[in-house]
Structures are given as C-alpha cells and as structure tokens.
A and B are shown apart, each in its own frame.
Chain A
Amino acid sequence: MKSFKGFLGLGIAAALAAATFLPSATIAQDTSTSAASSGKSEQWIHVRVESKEDHGETVRVNVPVEMATKVLPAINKNNLHDGKVRIDSMHTNDVDLRVILDAVRSSRDGEYVTVQSNENDVRVAKSAGYLYIHVTDKSDSKKAAGKDGKTGAKSSSGNGSKVEIKVPMKVVDALLSAGKDELDLVAALKALSAHGDTELVTVKDNENTVRVWVDSKNLAE
C-alpha cells in the first residue's frame, strides 16, 4: 500500500510535469489561432520560377510582407541600408529614372511609351492606379526561326520572352519617397501590403516562367 503511495506521488509529479508543458503548448496553439484568424489581413509575397529545361526546376518562395518589412531594415550591406537601397545609377545614359517615374506619377492615365520593332515591343502605360510595363523580346523567336526554317517560322509567333510588370502607383510613390538616389523598399512593401492581392511580375520565355504576386494565402498556388 505504501509503495502504491510512492507510485501515486510519481504520478502526481508526472502530472505536474505535464501541466508545465501545457502552458507552452496552449500558447503555441493561441499563436497559431491568432495567426490563422488574422490571416485574412496578412499579405504574402510569392515568387514562383518554373524551368522547362532538362531537370525541370521549380522554385517556390513565400514570404510574409510584414516579415520582409521587419527584416529588411536589419540588413545593412552594400547598397542596402535601413530598408532603403541606394541606386548609384539613377542617371543612366543621361536619363534620370527618378524624374521619369515622377512625371508618370503626376500625369493622367494613358499610354506613355509604345515601341514596336523587329527586336522588341515595349509598352509603358498608366491606368486605373497601376503602372504597366510590358516588354516582348522577339530576338529568341528570330533565332529559332533561323535555326529551324519552316518550323521556326511557325514557332516564332509563340516564342520569345515576354515580361509583364504591373505595379500599383501607390507603391511607386512609396518607393520614391526616400531621398535622392534611394528607393525605400520598406515603404513600398507597406504600400503593397495595404493594396491587397496583386499580380506584380510575369516573365515567360521558352525555358522559364517567373511569377511574382501578392495575396493573403500562405501557400503558393
């Protein structure tokens, strides 16, 4: 009977130990629940790269926007400081990129640049609060046409790389809100987060597909 008491004591001690574990488990559950419940407002940046080459590489990256805004200021390396990136070449070939973006920002909706050539098609436009940049590179399809003859000519309509960038103007504003020759990445991310679901970048060519988008899901599609 007395040894039973000893085992009973052991049982109580084990129960105490279990109780010690319980709070941390409960906290973990609470955190998970609160994260899940607030999941609707959380925005995630997703990057997906799919390669059609030999081994068919696929890269999926999902980063919470909030995490990026907190971590970026902690990185101080090369041109990146305090969440701002210093661009030494804002004046490229006597073209002031900042002035151009500023001009686009303050202008009305419209098509600003349209270039159609044998090599590329370029379109820069502003519409309904978004800046659109579309570039179609036809050089690949020409090479393919040169190589394949008839087949190449047929494929030239579908080949070549295509880049589509769609950025909310508020994000452009935020990006340019830093000092001269600087881009404020953190401000841009915050603006992006407030903007809601957005498809940012799509790049397609014969070998790769790249997609960057923002939504409230914590998993890539």
Chain B
Amino acid sequence: MLVLGKVALGLGATLAATGAYVFHEGVIRVDVDEHRQGGSHVHFWVPATVVATGMHFIPKDQLNHTTAEVRPFLPVLREVAKELEKYPNAELVDVSDARNHVRIAMEGGRLRIDAVSEDGDVVHVSVPARVLGDVADELEEKAPGV
C-alpha cells in the first residue's frame, strides 16, 4: 500500500508539474460556429506553450516559406504584442451594424476577437497577448535572414 501511495504521489506531482508548465502561459481559445447546413463547428482550447513547442516540429522548408511571407509584419507584431500587455483591459475596436458585430478587445491580458453575423455565424478567438510576441520571436529565431 505504501508503494501505491508513493506511485500516486510521484504521478500526481509529475502531472501537476506538467500541467503547471503547459498552462502557465495561458490558453488559446477558438470557437467557430457556422449556423448553416454543413457549417463547421470548431471549439478548442490549446495551451499557449504548445504553440512555441509545436513550431519546433514544423518542417524547415515550410517554416522558411511562412517566415518569408510574414517577415515584414514581425516587428509590428512584436511591438503590438509588447504594448498590448500594458493594457490588460481595454476595448480597441468595435464595428457594428444591423447585421454584424466585430469586437477586438483586451480582457485580462488576453486579446479577444469576437465576430457575430446576422446569419448566426459566430467566431470567438482568445489569445494571451504574450503569445503573439513569442510567435514573432520564434519565427524570427527559427528562420533568421530569410
């Protein structure tokens, strides 16, 4: 029984440490609902850490191609991410008419994008601001001088 307890303790501690590592950067949340026949419904939560880690597994060629395309925007993305962290709660953009509503805001240090259309299509994306900067850094680091 003592052995079982020790195993449980070790397993629990490992799980907790892994969980803490994976989630301490925050979670990226994406919800997409298309309310039409055959429309897609996508709902997922991804720990932000996975994004940086996942980039290690992207094939070099593909990463170089992507970086070459987004390179002009990386300095802007990095600055925006850095600045957004200073404004954890702020409404940045709100566009609405009788049919659609788009809102971009910072909520609790996370960049939140909400889009709702008259047809009932809904898109909610929530990303920790820090992740945007990390992605920019990671792209630059992975394929420098592209």
Contact = CB atoms under 8 A, between A and B. Distances in A.
A32 B17 CA distance: 27
A49 to B, nearest CB: 9
Main secondary structure of the interface of A (DSSP, over half): helix
B144 interface: no
Interface stretch (A10-18, A84-92, A163-171, A201-209): A10-18
Contacts, number: 129
Contact of B109 (A6, A17, A31): A31
B42 interface: no
B91 A62 contact: yes
Interface in B3-57: 4-9, 12-13, 15-17, 19-21, 23-24
Contacts of B21: 20
B66 interface: no
Contact of A74 (B7, B76, B95): B76
B88 A31 contact: yes
Interface string A208-221: 00000000001110
Interface stretch (A52-60, A116-124, A126-134): A52-60
B86 A35 contact: yes
Nearest to B23: A21
Q: Name, among B16, B75, B78, B80, the residue most crowded by chain A CB atoms within 10 Å (CB to CB).
A: B16
Main secondary structure of the interface of B (DSSP, over half): helix
Nearest to A23: B24
A10 B12 contact: yes
B1 A70 contact: no
Contacts of A97: none
Nearest to A15: B16
Contacts of A99: none
Interface in A141-170: none
A66 B12 contact: no
A9 interface: yes
For chain A, the bracket of interface size reads 35 or more
Interface in B77-95: 78-80, 82-95
Contacts of A16: 13, 16-17, 20
Contact of B4 (A3, A31, A32, A219): A3
A3 B87 contact: no
Contacts of A194: none
A42 to B, nearest CB: 8
B12 A13 contact: yes
Contacts of A67: 80, 83-84, 86-87
Contacts of A220: 91, 94
Contacts of B98: 54-56
Contacts of A60: 91, 93-95
11 contacts: A10-B12, A21-B20, A28-B88, A31-B85, A31-B109, A51-B97, A59-B93, A67-B84, A218-B87, A218-B90, A218-B91
Interface of B: 1-2, 4-9, 12-13, 15-17, 19-21, 23-24, 72, 75-76, 78-80, 82-99, 108-109
Interface of A: 2-3, 5-7, 9-10, 13-14, 16-17, 20-21, 24, 28, 31-32, 35, 51, 54-64, 66-67, 70-71, 74-77, 218-220
Given A17-B19, A60-B94, A64-B86, 13 more contacts: A2-B1, A5-B2, A6-B9, A9-B9, A32-B89, A35-B87, A59-B95, A60-B95, A61-B92, A61-B94, A67-B86, A70-B83, A218-B91
